[in-house]
Structure 1
Amino acid sequence: MTNATIASAWTTAVDDAPIAVATAADLVAIAGADGTAWILEAATGVPVGTVTLPGGLLAAAFSPDASHLALAGPSGHALWRRSDGHVVAEQTGAWSGAVRWAGPDRVAVASGRRALVLSTDGTQLWATDPAPSTVTDLAWLRDGRRLASSAYGGVRCHERHTDKPVTEYRYLGSHLAIALAPTGRWICTGNQDASIHIWRTRDGDDLTMQGYPDKIARLAFDDTGQWLASDGAPDITVWDFSGKGPAGTEPRSLRTHETVTALAWRPGGDAVLASAGAEGTVAFWRAGSGRAGALVRPAYERELTDAVVALAWSGPGLLVLADYQGRVEAWPLPDGLAR
């Protein structure tokens, strides 16, 4: 199965270098570096519309019902409404690299050193006070009742409508990405100093996973909260958070890429991970197979002409991927990986 060929469900192209793929319900968005997001039907790839944020794009995220698309970039953020194709909110002037939805009606946006929370009509509901540095990532805790933001020095948590943090998880350094366990038990950051820092949310007990050759910029839990995947090396590492957590354990190592460019867990909690590398390989993994410390080989891999720079699952059965030349493909799940 490793060398089999997947027949694409559909292919298309966008006139830019993609930086992100966002999916929700029946839509897909391909965010381009120059500032345009192309919105497509997930089942067919047929264009639905476009929206442009002046100054470029760094992140994009649909609301869970796909009624709105939030965009973030070096010059600000914007909010697109599906019902009429209008931009209902746009703010320029502050660097923004993260957007996160709390259900269908509220979205958090990184805006310089602050996090802003907007309603779907673009109204600013509240904002945090300034962090020590630019906010790099966001996550919602407690079913959207608490917002976590990462910046230099750690993670700051805010209750609704509170500008000052109610909890802080401290670790000296630059934090690039947040991963929150779906159980709410763990909060993790990927860091510029080539480490993963982990806190237990109930008491702040923490530990650091060090020794990576490169910074950790991609970090994600699967739907069960048992498995945490990260970049930071040619190998993808997968840590087991079952039981008392990963302290004193070794990760599984997923080896096929030279440099990891994208990774995404398949929805549903079956520990299937999709990844891409700068060498042009796309791989599917049974990421929980083997013992702790084991070397895991791909269940399926395919080498493409150009490097895939972004990918995302549209439901459990379709993977949408985009290469740096603007080619977009949708792949069904390879035979034998579904359980």
Structure 2
Amino acid sequence: MSTAVESPLVWQISVDDAPVAISARGDLIAVAGAEGTVKVFDAAMGAEIGALELPGGALKVALSLDAQHLVATGPMGYALWRRTDGRTRVRESGTWSATAAWADGERVAVATGRRAHVLDPDGTELWRTEPAASTVSDLAWMRQGRRLAVAAYGAVRCHERHTEKPVATYPYVGSHLALAVAPTGRWICSGNQDASIHIWRARDGGELTMSGYPEKVSRLAFDETGFWLAAVGAPDVTVWDFSGRGPEGTPPRSLRCHETVTALAWRPGAAGHLASGGADGTVALWHATTGRPQARLRPARELDGTGTAVAALAWAGSHLLAVAWRDGRVRMYGVPSRTAL
């Protein structure tokens, strides 16, 4: 049974741009706005640490694993920010940069049009992939940053360091909207425009498609163990069990709280705690891996419940949850560490 008792509010601020994305690493969080304003805050206190402007607007933001660098991407290019002195380098490529992902503190992959460019923190290009069939929609690092998975229409392609041509190709005729790679490296999953999730077993390319979602699958996320995949295909969040031989033949757990799910984030660790946000402004906290397959779960707790849609969620470590709403509010909540959320 859910409860309306809120987790403690650690701090709250307002930004002047409608948030579209949050990233949290180390002691920082970064909030990107639709018009291209990106602000960096201290996670514990909410004090502003730095800011940058990305011409043409922003889509995603990503802090490096060591919280020393940041990349923001948008419709017209990308920008890199350095914590030590606040230096910002903007690359107005004129091409759609959907997303970016850090391999470590020294390399970041940026989707730029039909390619992925791998850069050092100063923006120097180290290597790039050959052009895909269409604009790169998502990307993810595998094998502890040794392999890059790149999703574009028709396939997910994997590249080793400095290899323009893919070393492995996982075909699927359709448009990929989201990409998730298990931390174990065992599974590659895409959420698709055709209301399906397609799964490949990385070692041999074995395939499985899970279809029947009422809407396109626009969000996917593995938990830290790699045993659980959360997917949004509206109105439920489905949670698939990837332990053992994977999800084939096993129904998912269903989480329903929001009429439309707008954000999703697993809590770090192995507890199976998940946060979701909705168009109604509600944030729900879940014991997402409890119950039997095909169970419909209820949230353990709900936060807020009024206002504009939740734009993004991010866990700042295991005890702090950052939430951004489209009206510019950003809140940091303290979440109990005990089993009961």
How far does residue 309 in structure 1 lie from its aligned partner after superposition?
Answer: 1.2
Q: Is the 8 Å Cα contact of residues 300 and 334 (structure 1) preserved in structure 2?
A: no
Q: Which residue of 2 aligns with 1:212?
A: 213
Is 2:290 aligned against 1:289?
A: yes
Q: Is the 8 Å Cα contact of residues 319 and 337 (structure 2) preserved in structure 1?
A: no
SS at match of 2:215: coil
Q: For residues 180-211 of structure 1, what are the alpha-carbon distances to aligned partners after superposition, in whole Å with 9 as ceiling and x for unaligned? A: 00111000000000000000000000000000
* Counterpart-to-counterpart distance in 2, 1:295 and 1:238: 10
Q: Is the 8 Å Cα contact of residues 176 and 189 (structure 1) preserved in structure 2?
A: yes
- Which amino acid is 2:73 matched to? A
Q: For residues 244-289 of structure 1, what are the alpha-carbon distances to aligned partners after superposition, in whole Å with 9 as ceiling and x for unaligned? A: 0000010000011100000000001210000001112110000001
* Counterpart-to-counterpart distance in 1, 2:308 and 2:59: 21
Pairing of 1:83-122 with structure 2 (within 5 A) = 83-88=84-89, 90-122=91-123
Q: Which residue of 1 aligns with 2:306?
A: 304
* Counterpart-to-counterpart distance in 2, 1:203 and 1:313: 33
Is 2:87 aligned against 1:76?
A: no
Q: Is the 8 Å Cα contact of residues 36 and 55 (structure 2) preserved in structure 1?
A: yes
* Counterpart-to-counterpart distance in 2, 1:6 and 1:18: 22
Candidates 313, 320, 323, aligned match of 1:321: 323
Pairing of 1:184-223 with structure 2 (within 5 A) = 184-223=185-224
Q: Is the 8 Å Cα contact of residues 318 and 337 (structure 2) preserved in structure 1?
A: no
* Counterpart-to-counterpart distance in 2, 1:7 and 1:119: 39
SS at match of 2:163: coil
SS at match of 1:39: strand
Q: Is the 8 Å Cα contact of residues 195 and 215 (structure 2) preserved in structure 1?
A: yes
Q: Which residue of 2 aligns with 1:45?
A: 46
How far does residue 334 in structure 1 lie from its aligned partner after superposition?
Answer: 4.5
Is 2:16 aligned against 1:21?
A: no
SS at match of 2:144: helix
- The unaligned stretches of length 5 or more in structure 2 are none
Is 2:231 aligned against 1:244?
A: no
Q: Is the 8 Å Cα contact of residues 118 and 124 (structure 1) preserved in structure 2?
A: yes
Q: Is the 8 Å Cα contact of residues 125 and 161 (structure 1) preserved in structure 2?
A: yes
Count of residues paired in the alignment: 339
- Which amino acid is 2:322 matched to? V
SS at match of 1:9: strand
* Counterpart-to-counterpart distance in 2, 1:135 and 1:338: 40
Q: Is the 8 Å Cα contact of residues 320 and 332 (structure 2) preserved in structure 1?
A: yes
How far does residue 332 in structure 1 lie from its aligned partner after superposition?
Answer: 0.8
* Counterpart-to-counterpart distance in 1, 2:16 and 2:103: 31
How far does residue 301 in structure 1 lie from its aligned partner after superposition?
Answer: 1.1
Q: For residues 207-263 of structure 1, what are the alpha-carbon distances to aligned partners after superposition, in whole Å with 9 as ceiling and x for unaligned? A: 000000111111000000111001012110000001100000100000111000000
* Counterpart-to-counterpart distance in 2, 1:282 and 1:157: 35
Q: Is the 8 Å Cα contact of residues 103 and 145 (structure 2) preserved in structure 1?
A: yes
Q: Is the 8 Å Cα contact of residues 228 and 240 (structure 1) preserved in structure 2?
A: yes
* Counterpart-to-counterpart distance in 1, 2:282 and 2:169: 39
Q: For residues 137-163 of structure 1, what are the alpha-carbon distances to aligned partners after superposition, in whole Å with 9 as ceiling and x for unaligned? A: 001111111111000002011111111
How far does residue 89 in structure 1 lie from its aligned partner after superposition?
Answer: 5.0
Instruction: Name whichever of 312-321 and 2-11 sits farther off.
Output: 2-11
Query: What is the identity percentage for the equivalent residue pairs of Structure 1 and Structure 2?
Result: 60
* Counterpart-to-counterpart distance in 2, 1:113 and 1:337: 44
- Which amino acid is 1:112 matched to? G
- Which amino acid is 1:304 matched to? T
* Counterpart-to-counterpart distance in 2, 1:19 and 1:231: 17
Q: Which residue of 2 aligns with 1:265?
A: 266
* Counterpart-to-counterpart distance in 1, 2:274 and 2:93: 36
Pairing of 1:153-232 with structure 2 (within 5 A) = 153-232=154-233
SS at match of 1:92: coil
How far does residue 93 in structure 1 lie from its aligned partner after superposition?
Answer: 1.1
- Which amino acid is 1:40 matched to? F
SS at match of 2:330: strand
Change (3 A) 1:306 1:201: same
Q: Is the 8 Å Cα contact of residues 282 and 304 (structure 1) preserved in structure 2?
A: no
